[in-house]
Amino acid sequence: MTELYVDQFGAVERAVGRVLQGADKETAVHEVFYRLLADAELRLSFRGGSLRAWISTVARNHALDYRRRRERERPAGAAEDVCSEVQDVSTFEESLEARSLIERFRRDKLPEKWRAVFEARFIGQLHQSEAARALGIHRTTLLYQEFRIRQLLRAFFLRGEAA
């Protein structure tokens, strides 16, 4: 494995560098080698031919997956707008109205089972990975619940149910 690391590090770094930069690039490069050490199935998927081409493809695919995962963690869409509206209110009256709307959404539209995710992501504005860790759930579970909450928020705020 040491020889593989020394011989193929440049190829992996270049493949990942086409997709990621900075600390993300370094992390992804080391994750590729970690996966090679830890995952026997991945090692067995090499069927011969050019090792450099195979490992470059593995690295590029890992970098793309890493970037997609990071992009999904950023708040976006209607829920972000709702949170920023609550933060940007300039008067006490508007703040009370915003709190009232959020409370009504919680009470009338938000299922109990998704409240913790709503509090962590939309009110507390934790990163997805932080929220999942704090709630003790898988990030994919959090993603699903967050997606469903966003749908409910859109219906509530954009379709006039908040009025």
Predicted confidence (pLDDT) per residue in 13-38, tens digit: 999 999 998 888 998 999 999 999 88
Residues of the chain by 3-state class (helix, strand, coil), percent to 5: 80, 0, 20
**Predicted confidence band at 89 (pLDDT cuts at 50, 70, 90)?**
very low
d(CA 31, CA 29): 5
How many CA atoms does the CB half-sphere of 30 hold within 13 Å? 5
For each of the domains in the chain, give its residue range(s) and CATH number, in order of start: 2-73 (1.10.1740), 78-158 (1.10.10)
Q: What is the pLDDT of residue 93?
A: 64
pTM above 0.75, yes or no: no
Q: What is the pLDDT of residue 78?
A: 45
Residue with tokens 């909450």: 149
The token pair at 7 is 């011989």
How many CA atoms does the CB half-sphere of 160 hold within 13 Å? 0
**pLDDT above 90 covers what percent of the chain?**
31
**Predicted confidence band at 156 (pLDDT cuts at 50, 70, 90)?**
confident
Question: What value does the mean pLDDT take over residues 52-73?
Answer: 89
